[in-house]
Chain A
Amino acid sequence: MFYRESGDFSTTYPQDSQTFPIRFDRYRYYVVLAVAFLVIPFIINDYWANAVFVPFLIYAIAAIGLNILTGYCGQVSLGTGAFMAVGAYSCYKLMTAFPDVSIVIHVLLSGGITAAVVTLFGLPSLRIKGFYLAVATLAAQFFLVWLFNKVGWFYNYSASGQISAPERSVLGIIVTGPNTEAWAKYLICLVFVTLCAIIARNLTRGSVGRRWMAIRDMDIAAEIIGVNPMGAKLTAFMVSGFFVGIAGALFFSVYLGAAEVGESFGIDKSFLVLFMIIIGGLGSIFGSFAGAAFMVLLPVFLKNVFVGGLGWPTDLAAHLQFIVSGGLIIMFLIMEPHGLAQLWRLAKEKLRLWPFPH
């Protein structure tokens, strides 16, 4: 019934190689975009923007970034939190140093700076593999957090050691600072997410992406068939860093407004993003979105159930939330190790044959 290719013939090469070759899929994608851009901004309010949509969109960018590195190229990174901090701090420095330049350019530049830093920390990956590399990225996590804490230049020697975003606007609409409207926050994040997802999707299905996946599946074999491991790994670190940096810049400037590095970009953030891509599905752009949505919604949902529904004290609810989210992660790993993206794929297979499965 749904997702059928019959009658869906490609007559030109561009048609054959488009992102969504099945017509139904393509229309669904347009509908989702239309709803996200044209419906939600009109009905969104502060609570939904701050608790659900804005963090979801920003984490989705970070998850796409980490998924490129870990899911597509197979290099496990536990430094995502600190890399987001690089994005946040470079955005802050740029915003305060060049107040006249548009914030969009600042965010993109922060992505570029983060890409450079991440590539630097990616250099050891040429020698170190597997868990050793994962632990090595922790070096980046702790070192960068310490650096941003200790060196006053990064936070402009402010007394509290915090960085706070000044008010900036895009096309006359305020997007950072305390006076931002909910829909403005949502829309600027949405624009970045859409662009990032399109770029990531096209990178991963092109020759760069195929090189990454060859390295992931077996690096020596990839090297023998002519993939340059240094080039492939470092481009993965670079592209991943770019996305993570954008996520960090938006997280600080649009979502938080003010940030302190140890608290906002600590190691738990690294784990959170890693959870997102594992639960969503390694090596899938859709999975990055699904995982981000799951991990953002879960605490909101649990808090509503335990505190709102059952009326238990908040500290107890916080502990139970630990147990439930940990338990859910384990359950997911046991029942569906390939994540929500795999469930989605299975559902599509089923829908294709529905209602006549035989």
Chain B
Amino acid sequence: MPDQFLFAMEVILNGLMAGVLYALVALGFVLIYKASGIFNYAQGVMALFAALTLVGIMEGQVPFSHLINAIFGTDIHHFGWHVPALLAIAMTMVVMVGLAWAVQKFIFRHLVNQEPILLFMATIGLAFVMEGIGDIMWGAEIKKLDIGLPQGINDWIDVTTFEAFGYGFFIDNLDISATIVAVILVGVLIAFSQYTKQGRALRAVADDHQAALSVGISLNFIWILVWSIAGFVALVAGIMWGAKSGVQFSLSLIALKALPVLMLGGFTSIPGAIVGGLIIGVGEKLFEFLIGPMVGGATENWFAYVLALIFLVFRPQGLFGEKIIERV
């Protein structure tokens, strides 16, 4: 087989892996949008916040040490212990549930029945607040996140493909584990929403708020639940991206990567988020590989958006979105 073709294959495979990560972030958006009609811009910052908290807990950092030092003139930074990864993840999850509760209690309970654009603006405000709090709590420097996931090139794939085609595929172990984790996560989420009482209540709320309220489902509880689940998805996404490129501010920008995925897949569809993620992941890698060199590269920033835009012109509700029915 020609080299170019093999190389393109490798690009497609890597694109699929990147797409899985995009889908992971997009999932968090879809969950909240379906259940509460809130377009949650803060999802990316939630991933950053979760990753920062995880690193902070694992390293035994003192929260708000920077602020405390500035006010009282002390010099504290670490407790001096290390927390094992699994325990730290559990503790971070507790923090994320607390965050979900606070978001519901202090922000969105007061904004029920407002226009969607205002809710969207509120999530941008929330993104600002969380960004600031995350930095003040744990410090703004770039951190390494290592919870023991395998890293580096997968030798087995490299050797096998080299023997088969004479060209070794470079695939990162981390991407493979991210894919596995994402598949498990989606499986768990589907099982949760199909087979548990809370999951069914969640779907009922997503279908029709008022009908759900009238059969005795607590909207308040469901909204906290859905923000917690979104927090959990954000934590997973934060771990994967954080392990890949370090925990830093740019992590919050993955929200911007997930938006075209949502447009493509439809704001209300979980399969749409996954398929959209894969299409975007492969599409942008292939475009950068084939067309990128001709136009000066770095096309990844906008290609996904333009693709989604062109797609939407032909199908305004996205790939799997609910058909838009308009009445006067």
Chain A residues packing against B (C-beta within 8 Å): 70, 76, 124, 127-132, 134-136, 138-139, 142-143, 145-146, 149-151, 218, 220-221, 224, 267, 271, 274-275, 278, 312-313, 315-316, 319-330, 333-334, 337
Contact = CB atoms under 8 A, between A and B. Distances in A.
A247 B111 CA distance: 33
Contacts of B165: none
Interface residues of B, number: 54
B116 to A, nearest CB: 7
Given A319-B132, A334-B110, A135 B262 contact: yes
B148 interface: no
Contact of A136 (B124, B129, B308): B308
Contact of A319 (B127, B140, B312, B328): B140
A313 B73 CA distance: 12
A337 B312 contact: no
B120 interface: yes
Given A135-B263, A142-B302, A129 B316 contact: yes
B67 interface: yes
A127 B263 contact: no
Contact of B313 (A128, A131, A324): A128
A320 B126 contact: no
Given A143-B306, A220-B327, 13 more contacts: A127-B313, A131-B39, A131-B116, A132-B263, A135-B305, A139-B302, A142-B301, A149-B298, A316-B136, A319-B136, A319-B140, A326-B128, A329-B124
Nearest to A147: B302
A25 B262 CA distance: 48
Given A267-B256, A278-B118, A128 B316 contact: yes
Contacts of B131: 322, 326
The 9 closest A-B pairs by CB, nearest first: A326-B128, A322-B132, A139-B305, A323-B132, A329-B125, A326-B129, A142-B302, A330-B125, A150-B296
User: In this complex, which of A274, A319, A320 has the most chain B Cβ atoms within 10 angstroms of its Cβ?
Assistant: A319
Given A132-B316, A139-B306, A319-B136, A146 B299 contact: yes
Contacts of A322: 128-129, 131-132, 135
B66 interface: yes
B121 A316 contact: no
Contact of B312 (A136, A149, A267): A136
B259 interface: yes
A320 B71 CA distance: 13
Contacts of B111: 333-334
Nearest to B41: A271
B107 A330 contact: yes
Given A146-B301, A146-B302, A326 B70 contact: no
Contacts, number: 139
A142 B298 CA distance: 11
Nearest to B296: A150
A132 B318 contact: yes
B313 A329 contact: no
Given A326-B125, A329-B124, A320 B136 contact: yes
B231 interface: no
Secondary structure dominating the interface of A: helix
B267 interface: yes
Interface in B278-328: 295-299, 301-302, 305-306, 308-309, 312-313, 316-318, 324, 326-328
Interface string B97-124: 0000000000100110011111011101
A325 B313 contact: no
B132 A131 contact: no
B178 to A, nearest CB: 24
A129 B302 CA distance: 20
B313 A124 contact: yes
A313 B263 contact: no
Given A131-B39, A139-B309, A326-B132, A316 B117 contact: no
Contacts of A333: 111, 114, 118, 121-122, 125
A337 B328 CA distance: 25
A201 to B, nearest CB: 23
Contact of A143 (B107, B116, B121, B302): B302
A224 B328 contact: yes
B263 A136 contact: yes
Nearest to A76: B117
B184 interface: no
A218 B327 CA distance: 10
A276 to B, nearest CB: 11
Interface string B135-149: 110001000000000
Given A131-B116, A150-B295, A337-B118, A325 B259 contact: no
